[in-house]
Amino acid sequence: MIDHDAVPPAEDITRFYQPELARVIGKWQMTEMMVLLRLQPASGERLDHAPGQFLQISLPGYGEAPISFCSSPTQTDSFELCVQSVGNLSEALHDLRPGDFVGVRGPYGHGFPVEDMRGRDVLIVAGGIGIAPLRSLINYMADRRRDFGRVIIVYGARNPSERLFVEDVEAWDARDDFETWFTVDEPDETWTGMTGVVTVPLREVEIDPARTTAAVVGPPVMYRYVAMELLNKQMAEDDILFSLERRFKCGMGKCGHCQLNDLYVCQDGPVFRYTQLIGRTEAIEVWAPDEQKG
């Protein structure tokens, strides 16, 4: 029953919608379209996110958008977000300078189940900008290396100039205890590595399916081809983790924008076990080029 006597203060009522301030302490242009922002909550309090979780970043007047953390929670003094230039807000975020403030609220959602992954082999499959949330997990595993078995990283980019986090990638490659497979679909004269989409090296990777958890993030086209390769390797559907992108508005399972059949991606995801997506028709995106038919 509604309590007619208890109307809380205004800031408590809107607390879900109201961002905290965070200061930009670093900014790097990674590619033409991608900027990396390093941020620090103005309150000095840690956000304490898990790899795979996201937050809502906003600039008053430009609005708000969900972005996955791309730094590891083991990096405690600050956090990082990778912003792709796609609209008014993200373009304004690209214009930020160190010292500027942004609004943040979160973290939200279920990230990668790192506790369940302890002791297991982890197969990372990253396509394009999908490397951003996976970098959070990879660097987490790098800092907690003994908690995990094999760490296998398969990362595909469209072309060499669109590869993100090149320094991290080189560091992962240099480690004896990480197995790395890098590929580009459209090589140029500088590229000496593998050629093809991410499924090409993935097919070569030998795993022990019973011991392996796969973490997959990439463009929509990628998921089903990767799923097919992983299932061909006899992996259990429950051990395949997909992180899905939706347009979260509220982050608390209310606004309806991220609904995937009966699930709210912002609450139940964005990281899902493949098992959860089976039979949910809206998990795999479809569209008709002929709009009139819709």
Number of residues that bind another protein (CB under 8 A): 79
Output phi, psi for 11, to 5 deg: -70, -25
Taking CB under 8 A as the binding criterion, the range among 116-124, 138-146, 172-180, 273-281 that sits at the site for another protein is 273-281
- Interface residue with another protein among 205, 245, 272, 276 (CB under 8 A) is 245
Rank residues 171 and 200 by Cβ distance to another protein and give the closer one: 200
Query: Under a CB-based contact definition with an 8 Å cutoff, are residues 268 and 108 in contact?
Result: no
Single-letter code of the amino acid located at 65: A
Closest approach of Cβ 27 to another protein, in Å?
A: 18
Which of 117, 151, 260, 271 touches another protein (CB under 8 A)?
A: 260
Q: Which stretch binds another protein (CB under 8 A): 24-32, 62-70, 114-122, 131-139?
A: 62-70
Of residues 158 through 217, those in contact with another protein by CB under 8 A are: 158, 185, 196-197, 199-200, 203
Q: State which of residues 141, 214, 227, 230 lies at the interface with another protein (CB under 8 A).
A: 227
CB of 135 to another protein, least distance (A): 18
Binding pattern to another protein, positions 123-162, x when CB under 8 A?
-----x-----------------------------x----
Q: Of 3, 32, 115, 167, which lies in the binding site for another protein, with binding defined by CB under 8 A?
A: 3
Choice from 26, 98, 119, 220 touching another protein (CB under 8 A) = 220
- 3-state helix/strand/coil string of the chain: CCCCCCCCCHHHHCCCCCCEEEEEEEEEECCCCEEEEEEEECCCCCCCCCCCCEEEEEECCCEEEEEEECCCCCCCCCEEEEEECCCHHHHHHHCCCCCCEEEEEEEECECCCHHHHCCCEEEEEEEHHHHHHHHHHHHHHHHCHHHCCCEEEEEEECCHHHCCCHHHHHHHHHCCCEEEEEEECCCCCCCCCEECCCHHHHHHCCCCHHHEEEEEECCCCHHHHHHHHHHHCCCCHHHEEEECCCCCCCCCCCCCCCEECCEEHHHHCEEEEHHHHCCCCCCCCCCCCCHHHC
Question: Applying CB under 8 A, does 61 fall inside the site for another protein?
Answer: yes
Residues 102-121 interacting with another protein (rule: CB under 8 A) = 103
Nearer to another protein, 109 or 148 (CB): 109
Q: Does 282 bind another protein (CB under 8 A)?
A: yes
Question: Among residues 25, 31, 84, 94, which is the contact residue for another protein, using CB under 8 A?
Answer: 84
Task: Please calculate the CA angle 64-70-76 and round it to the nearest 5 degrees.
Answer: 100
Q: Which stretch binds another protein (CB under 8 A): 73-81, 144-152, 172-180, 243-251?
A: 243-251
Among 91, 145, 161, 228, binds another protein (CB under 8 A): 228
